[in-house]
Amino acid sequence: MYNLGIDLGGTNIVVGVVDKENNIIGKAERKTNLPRPAENIFEDMYAAALDALDKAGLSMKDIECVGLGTPGAVEPETGVITYSANLFFHNVPAKKMLEERFGKIAFVGNDANCAAFGEFIAGAGKYARDMIAVTLGTGVGGGIILNKKLHVGFNGAAGEIGHMVIHVDGEGCNCGRKGCWETYASATALNRMTKELLESTHDPILEKVIAAEGEINAKVPYKAAREGSKACAELCEKYAKYVATGVLNLINMLEPEVICIGGGVSHEGDALLQPILAYVAKESYTRENDEEMQTSIKLAELGNDAGIIGAALLYKNG
């Protein structure tokens, strides 16, 4: 049998057919087209699912269950999306709506948790017992797996790792606090710091890279550093230290077997990872332990498919 995984985002609805080896064998999408009623969005989920099944050469009778990953807080027992600012959802009975349309048992989870679960089952966390996923994107998202189960908290809102404070009275965050990890470690933060560097130094290499890219994005400082900008090399080092500070906090709190780092900035590969590893090795509370007793820090492996695969596999979290 096969499962359907749905990744619901503010821009796109993406549905994938996932086989028993956790591979996506058919995929289709629709535009989310916000704002509009939840009922219309769920109808488009069903339509995209039929397209994905057609591409996989299957039909709905081949599907065992459906999983949905959505932005916002999800009540774990009922599958109600209690609140999602990005989707303008409030108390949407997602599990019930899916089961009515698909005629299959449905599971609903937060999108970051689904991506983490996908990496845990089929990606960087495969064979581990505990894992924390860190996503460096517009914000800093995450998902926590403890003893092979997603830790979602009593109200379904756990895992907001980007909102731990690493700098008291630091940069303001959209959540209302100051100094949150995501205000220093997100791609948005890196863009802000790059802009500030440009304004203060007018680095010619940085200016050339920005002109070639057409904008400031998370690739710019790394590319400029590779082309010889000392200022950008220092910025990338500082950024990695911010990321590593939050990673260390997670390790010291929970000591997972694996922390995997994903999101757009993770595409820089070793240029991002190696400074993080060096900083963690120097500062970790358990730094005197043997290597096999240390948390393994890895780059995520599944990319944008993590959320689809994780949603399709939510039934394993029961």
- Chain centroid, CA 51 distance in Å: 26
Q: Which of 148, 152, 150 is nearest to 126 (CA)?
A: 148
Residue ranges of the chain with per-residue pLDDT less than 70: 288-291, 318
What pTM was estimated for this model as a whole? 0.88
- How far apart CA 291 and CA 213 sit, in angstroms, is 40
- How far apart CA 151 and CA 157 sit, in angstroms, is 9
- How far apart CA 58 and CA 104 sit, in angstroms, is 15
CATH number of 129-186+232-300, picked from 3.40.1390.10, 3.30.1490.390, 3.30.420.40, 3.40.50.300: 3.30.420.40
Homologous superfamily of 2-120+305-317 in CATH?
A: ATPase, nucleotide binding domain (3.30.420.40)
pLDDT of residue 14: 97
pLDDT of residue 99: 97
Where do you find CATH 3.30.420.40 in the chain? 2-120+305-317, 129-186+232-300
Q: Are 69 and 115 in contact (CB under 8 A)?
A: yes
pLDDT of residue 77: 86
Q: Which of 196, 197, 224, 228 is nearest to 209 (CA)?
A: 224
